[in-house]
Chains A and B, each alone.
Chain A
Amino acid sequence: MKTLSPSKISKMIPAGGKWSTLIRRGKQITFTALEEGANISLLLYNANDLSERYNMPDTLKAQHTAHLTKGNVLMSDNGRVLASIIEDSLGWHDPLSGYTSRVLTNQKYGITTYQNERNDYFRSGEENFAVELFRNGLTPRDLMPVVNLFSKVYCDNDGNLHYVTNHSKKGDTITLRTEMDVILVLSNTPNPLNPAATYPSVPVQLTIADAEPIQENDTCLNHRPENRRAFENTWEYILLSKGGIQ
């Protein structure tokens, strides 16, 4: 049978780029760093109820972690799993540092404008997110802590944040599996704690395909009892959102 739509979507997000899209549950999204030093900031919303979104504190405290890797899930404020991290070549992605603002971008890398630099002006996470949220019926009011894929930031015993340089290499990958219908919102802008003097942003490749059905021995499902209960909440919600008598 011929089909007009390919089964696999490939998308390159350039340095400074942004993107948002609806992705139904049961897809896998692989992010590949095309150069070293990648950082792409990510937000997730329930596509069927935009007031439900990725929740940093609930995600971290349920899994007793301050960093994200394979086995972890990204939980919503309603105790459900928006997406799971099913593969990861890095071992650490940053949920703490947030996104770059326009003010910080200008302070660190100098003022750039469309008038002077045309499309090479330095994009900020703040503005990228504002545009992509607005495209989906949301506003900066809906900005929440992001996940910074490919970045490592750790806390010392005094709580000071330390950005780790040379963490991600060319070819590093992380794969998410959607567990609910989501709006994925991305800004490929620098980690705010990256000390590099020149605008540090590199292209990231996205590949989106159908995921394998979740099995009983799934790594994310079995990572902690908390994860299983969040999956149970998710499955209940999905069952209830399906029609009954036809």
Chain B
Amino acid sequence: MAVLNHAVSERKVENASFNKTIPAGEGWIYTLEPGQVLRIVDLEGNQAADTLFYDADKPSDHYSAVNTIQRQGNVYLSTGSILVSESGKELVKIVADTCGRHDTLGGACSAQSNTVRYSHNTLPMHNCRDTFMLQLAKHDSRFLKRDLAPNVNFFMNVPVTPEGGLAFQDGVSAPGKYVELEAISRTLVLISNCPQLNNPCNAYNPTPIQVLIWDK
């Protein structure tokens, strides 16, 4: 079992400047200013929040999973983790976490990867990559498919074994668990609240998440 780096937040919901529920299968895009804190709440438990980050001042510089895990020498994210971009720029830092472990390797589900992983007839099923593409297409014409780098899966449990195995497991999150990210630089956050029904990443029942923001 991974080291679960729990840290409870002192921030109060009534002081948040932004408070929104994202239903299962929906997306959200938002630009955080430096010092703003974003909380993502797993309202009903065992929900995967697929999340990408971009340098808001240079959207061609995407979050880099491998730069992030290389820097911290660990594949899981928790309190203290600093998420960096492809160029090495520090984007956000995890400042509170009641779940304790988040995935960097599983990426997003897509119609195409569903056909590979499950069966060809899963092609029409709703998926995170479609949500990402729809959000980016509506947001800003500068974004293209090439900007979809591997994302973070908050609340998702993808254990890697010393023998080099990898599995998707139900497990570490529960109703009300949350993670808080403080923006180090101006960061565009893109979330897909995962609609995957074919594996236990959402306990076969995708549920809403909540996002709250506190100003500096």
Residues of A within 8 A of B (CB): 50-51, 53, 55-58, 60-62, 64-67, 75, 77-80, 92, 96-98, 101, 103, 139-146, 154-161, 192-193, 226, 229-230, 232-233
Total residues of chain B contacting the partner, CB 8 A = 51
Is B61 in contact with A159, judged by CB distance below 8 angstroms? no
Contact A98:B70 (CB < 8 A) given known A141-B62, A155-B75: yes
Q: Which residues of B contact A79 (CB under 8 A)?
A: 110-113, 115-116
Q: Which residues of B contact A103 (CB under 8 A)?
A: 88
Contact of A51 among B60, B87, B106, B144 (CB under 8 A): B144
Nearest B-chain residue to A91, judged by Cβ? B164
Which of B10-18, B36-44, B165-173 sits within the interface?
B165-173
Contact A61:B107 (CB < 8 A) given known A66-B165, A78-B112: yes
Is A65 in contact with B74, judged by CB distance below 8 angstroms? no
Inter-chain CA distance A158–B76, complex, in Å, is: 8
Is A101 in contact with B88, judged by CB distance below 8 angstroms? yes
In B59-85, the 8 Å CB interface with A consists of 60-62, 64-67, 69-70, 73-76
Is B113 in contact with A58, judged by CB distance below 8 angstroms? yes
Is B66 in contact with A96, judged by CB distance below 8 angstroms? yes
**B154 CB to closest chain A CB, in angstroms?**
15
Is B150 in contact with A144, judged by CB distance below 8 angstroms? yes
Is B112 in contact with A77, judged by CB distance below 8 angstroms? yes
Contact A58:B87 (CB < 8 A) given known A66-B105, A98-B70: no
The 8 A-B residue pairs with the shortest CB-CB distance in the complex, in nearest-first order: A57-B107, A79-B112, A98-B66, A67-B164, A141-B60, A159-B76, A155-B160, A66-B166
Nearest A-chain residue to B150, judged by Cβ? A57
Nearest A-chain residue to B76, judged by Cβ? A159
Sampled A-B contacts (21; CB under 8 Å): A53-B146, A56-B66, A57-B150, A67-B164, A77-B148, A96-B66, A98-B64, A140-B61, A141-B60, A141-B146, A141-B147, A143-B64, A145-B65, A146-B66, A154-B164, A157-B161, A159-B2, A159-B75, A159-B101, A159-B160, A160-B74
**A65 CB to closest chain B CB, in angstroms?**
6
Nearest B-chain residue to A163, judged by Cβ? B73
Is A140 in contact with B86, judged by CB distance below 8 angstroms? yes
Inter-chain CA distance A98–B85, complex, in Å, is: 13
Nearest A-chain residue to B167, judged by Cβ? A64
Inter-chain CA distance A25–B166, complex, in Å, is: 29
Is B117 in contact with A61, judged by CB distance below 8 angstroms? yes
Inter-chain CA distance A139–B61, complex, in Å, is: 10
Nearest A-chain residue to B3, judged by Cβ? A158
Q: Which residues of B contact A226 (CB under 8 A)?
A: 116-117
Inter-chain CA distance A239–B113, complex, in Å, is: 20
Is B88 in contact with A51, judged by CB distance below 8 angstroms? no
Is A96 in contact with B105, judged by CB distance below 8 angstroms? yes
Is A60 in contact with B105, judged by CB distance below 8 angstroms? yes
**B27 CB to closest chain A CB, in angstroms?**
18
Is A66 in contact with B164, judged by CB distance below 8 angstroms? yes
Is A230 in contact with B116, judged by CB distance below 8 angstroms? yes
Inter-chain CA distance A212–B204, complex, in Å, is: 43
Q: Is B145 an interface residue when CB atoms closer than 8 A count as contact?
A: yes
Contact A160:B166 (CB < 8 A) given known A51-B146, A98-B66, A141-B61: no
Nearest A-chain residue to B65, judged by Cβ? A145
B123-152 toward A: CB 8 Å interface, digit per residue (1/0)?
Answer: 000000100000000000000111111100
Residue with the greatest number of chain A CB neighbours at <10 A, chosen from B66, B67, B73, B163: B66
Nearest A-chain residue to B59, judged by Cβ? A141
Q: Which residues of B contact A53 (CB under 8 A)?
A: 146
**A88 CB to closest chain B CB, in angstroms?**
13
